Structure 1
Amino acid sequence: MKTFLEVRERDGAFAIRHDDLLAYAGPSQLIACTLTFLLFERAFADLSPGAPPRRDDIRLRTAFPGDGVHAAMEMVARAVTDGRLVVDTRLGPPEAPPAPAGRFYFEVAIGNAARAYWPKPGVFDDRFIDMVVNYQDGGGGPKAQADYLAYKHDLIGRLRSMAIGDLFESREIPAWTVPPPPAPIEVIDHGTLLRVTFADCVAYHGRTSIGGLALGYRLLQHAFARLSPGATPDRDEISVFTAFPGPGLRDALELVTRAVTRGAYKADPAADVPGPAGVTGRMYFEVEIAGRRLRLALIEGAIGEEFIRLGRKSKAGEATPADEARWTELKEALAVAVLSTPAADLFVEL
Structure 2
Amino acid sequence: MKLRFSLIVIALNIAVVASLLLGATQVENIWRYLFNPGFDSASTNHLILWEIRIPRILVALLIGAALGLAGAIAQSAANNPLADPAILGTSAGASLGVVSGVLLNLADVGSVLAVFFATIGALFATALTFTWARSVGALIIIGIGTSALFSAIVGLLITATNNPEIRSISFWSLGSLALATSDSLLIITPVFLVCFFFAFKIAPQLDLLSLGDISVRHLGLSAKAIRLKAFLIIGLLVAVSVSTVGSISFLALAAPHIARILFGGKSRILTIASSLIGALILLVGDTIARSVLPPYELPIGLITSLLGAPILILLVRKAALTWK
TM-score normalised to structure 2 length: 0.28
Structure scoring higher RCO (CA < 8 A, sep ≥ 6) equals: 2
More strand by share: 1
More helix by share: 2
Task: Tell me which structure has the larger Cα radius of gyration.
Answer: 1
TM-score normalised to structure 1 length: 0.26
